[in-house]
Amino acid sequence: MSQHIVSAKLYVSVWAALICLTVATAAVSYIELGPYNIVLALTIATCKMLLVALFFMGLKYISDRMTIVVIVAGLFWLGILVVLGMSDYVSRAWY
């Protein structure tokens, strides 16, 4: 199996983008957008997640089948977290 070689310039570019998005997240937290604060913060977080997954984890360079496996596994894990979180929420006594 051949390995894809990624240049250091690409890694530095992705790192700089991640730093800029982190600063953007912090800056957005000081702006009052009402209910859209969480939407914007999650959008920025999704962009950061995609950069990390595609370049640092190498998902951009592996087969399509393996990418699908990773996506399904991530969604399955998200489902577990949602079910456990909601079971805690539902089981609480609200006074």
pLDDT of residue 95: 61
Global pTM value: 0.70
pLDDT of residue 2: 66
| Ramachandran region, residue 85 (left: φ > 0; alpha: ψ -120 to 50; beta: rest) | alpha
pLDDT averaged over the chain?
89
- The parts of the chain modelled with pLDDT lower than 50 are none
Query: Rounded to whole angstroms, how far apart are CA atoms 59 and 39?
Result: 26
pLDDT of residue 93: 80
Q: How far is CA 49 from the centre of its chain?
A: 3
Question: Residue ranges per domain, the chain?
Answer: 1-62, 63-95
